[in-house]
Amino acid sequence: MAPLKVLIAGAGISGPAAVYWLSRLPSGAAITVVERTQAARPGGHQIDIRGHGITVMQRMGLEATMRANAVREEGTCLVRADDKPVAALPAAPMDAARNNRQGITTEFEMMRGTMCKVLMDAAEGQATYRYGVHVTAMEEDTTGVAVTLSDGTSQRFDLVVGADGQGSGVRQLMLGEDAPSVYHPIGLYIAYFDIPRREGDRNWFTFYLAPGRRIINMRGGDRDTHQVMLSVAARNPNTATLAALLQGRAPVDEVKRAWAELYRGAGWHADRIADCLLDEGSTGNFYTHELAQVRMDAWHTSRVALVGDAGWAPTPFTGIGSTIALVGVYVLAGELARNTGEDGTVHVPAALGAYDERVRPYVTEAQNRLPKDGFNKGFFPPETRLGIWILQTLLAIVVWTRLDRLLPWFASDEIDWVLPDYPELGS
């Protein structure tokens, strides 16, 4: 039998990981990866690997490489407006006996671009990468998928894997134009960007709560720049301007100005951050959007499968987005291998159904780490200075009494789900 002919859309985390595992199918695989950017994306902020993702990484033989490329971060710290720590959780080694449990700062912190490169290097030569193109049409039948790309070329594949992120074009084509929205906003707007590092900046993942349901996160690790993440609740009435600009796809400078106005005078490093947003050239890797989870009843058809954020987008507030991406592609490849006949025929529809059924409880539990209504209701993020003080006091008590070791919120991957073994992949 000829090897399985696979198209992967997206060269982020899920795409290269899928190349690695699909190349190990008993039938073999002829893999093409398409990516709409003009080259591999070197940027992006810090991400990590936790729980079952660590096990998958170890089965890929990448633990030593991941450690060698890790960002060195001392821990996680909540601060007051005067920069004094309220509660600090130092980084701690993973506990293999407790589901690879780690703290908020992990042993496997890594810049997104670095992790992508590590994954691509691990499967070097196993796929053809085509940059600057994306899928524009798909026509599926019982034996395969006819795919048209943005450069006008067409080709037929046995399997299409959508690994193209939260705004997945493959997902949209799979569902059709009239399908109900799968986006479920969680009530937060968020912006990520870098600013110049300066003397005195902490080598910690630092949080600051500002009145008006605003949050500032800063982390530098051992890098020359500081990563900033601004979050503001949709319940804050001042987000109306920002929301309108995002919806209207306004120029980046206008969006940055709106973020600066939202945070000017908020305390701590807010004015410094606002100044950087208004100073052309002082911010890099800028990206902003309304946070939403992707929730779907099925991540597949008979010949198309979605993985990572294209299928479930748990949001950064669940803490395990990269982990679920690694787990998802591993299970997808494992079920394809398990559904390969003695003659080398891969029973793709059966494998995709098994993949969905196997990984869904894990993804659902991860998504449910957020409240049912997201941040559209409830106490967090706090609205008032009193609310902030109450939360600061509670967290200080939790850390001082070491209750953080018992509470799931402080854990990495305390999800009651068993990662399958797939000897068919040699793992």
Indicate which CATH number applies to the domain containing 61: 3.50.50.60
In this structure, are 225 and 337 located in the same domain? no
Rounded Cα–Cα distance for residues 181 and 147 (Å):
23
Percent of the chain with pLDDT over 90: 65
- The three-point CA angle 343-347-348 to 5° equals 140
Q: Which two tokens stand for residue 355?
A: 């993949």
In this structure, are 388 and 403 located in the same domain? yes
Evaluate the CA torsion angle 88, 91, 97, 98 in order and state its sign.
Answer: positive
Residue 236 φ then ψ, to 5°: -70, 120
410 has pLDDT over 60: no
Residue at 30: amino acid letter? A
In this structure, are 143 and 62 located in the same domain? yes
Please tell me the total count of domains within the chain. 2
Rounded Cα–Cα distance for residues 380 and 388 (Å):
9
In this structure, are 54 and 136 located in the same domain? yes
Query: Are 173 and 137 spatial neighbours (Cβ–Cβ below 8 Å)?
Result: yes
Place of tokens 């084509």: 173
Whose CA is closest to 411, among 73, 94, 186?
94
In this structure, are 142 and 59 located in the same domain? yes
In this structure, are 102 and 115 located in the same domain? no
In this structure, are 406 and 302 located in the same domain? no
CA of 85: how far to CAs of 208, 272, 409, in Å? 10, 19, 20
pTM confidence score: 0.92
In this structure, are 384 and 395 located in the same domain? yes
In this structure, are 281 and 378 located in the same domain? yes
In this structure, are 230 and 125 located in the same domain? no
- Strands 127-131 and 304-306, by their bridges, are unpaired
Query: Are 205 and 219 spatial neighbours (Cβ–Cβ below 8 Å)?
Result: yes
In this structure, are 27 and 135 located in the same domain? yes
Cis peptide before 381 (omega within 30 of 0): yes
In this structure, are 116 and 214 located in the same domain? no
Residue at 124: amino acid letter? E
Output the pLDDT for position 256. Answer: 95
- For 133, which DSSP code? -
Chosen domain end from 327, 343, 370: 370
Rounded Cα–Cα distance for residues 250 and 119 (Å):
34
Q: Which domain holds residue 270?
A: 73-107+184-292+373-427
- For 100, which DSSP code? T
Output the pLDDT for position 403. Answer: 61
Output the pLDDT for position 407. Answer: 53
Evaluate the CA torsion angle 370, 373, 378, 381 in order and state its sign.
Answer: positive
Other C-beta atoms lying within 10 Å of the C-beta of residue 298: 14
What is the per-residue pLDDT across 363-391, written as a single tens digit (0 to 9) for each?
Answer: 998 898 888 788 888 888 999 999 999 98
| CATH classification of the domain holding 288 | 3.30.9
Chosen domain end from 342, 370, 398: 370
Other C-beta atoms lying within 10 Å of the C-beta of residue 90: 11
402 has pLDDT over 80: no
426 has pLDDT over 90: no
Whose CA is closest to 221, among 101, 391, 46?
46
Rounded Cα–Cα distance for residues 208 and 206 (Å):
7
What is the per-residue pLDDT across 345-361, written as a single tens digit (0 to 9) for each?
Answer: 999 999 999 999 999 99
For residue 6, the cross-strand partners are 31, 159
Q: Which two tokens stand for residue 48?
A: 């990590």
What is the per-residue pLDDT across 22-55, written as a single tens digit (0 to 9) for each?
Answer: 999 998 999 999 999 888 776 778 888 888 999 9
Chosen domain end from 370, 387, 413: 370
Query: Are 352 and 33 spatial neighbours (Cβ–Cβ below 8 Å)?
Result: no
Which pLDDT band, with edges at 50, 70 and 90, does 70 fall under? confident
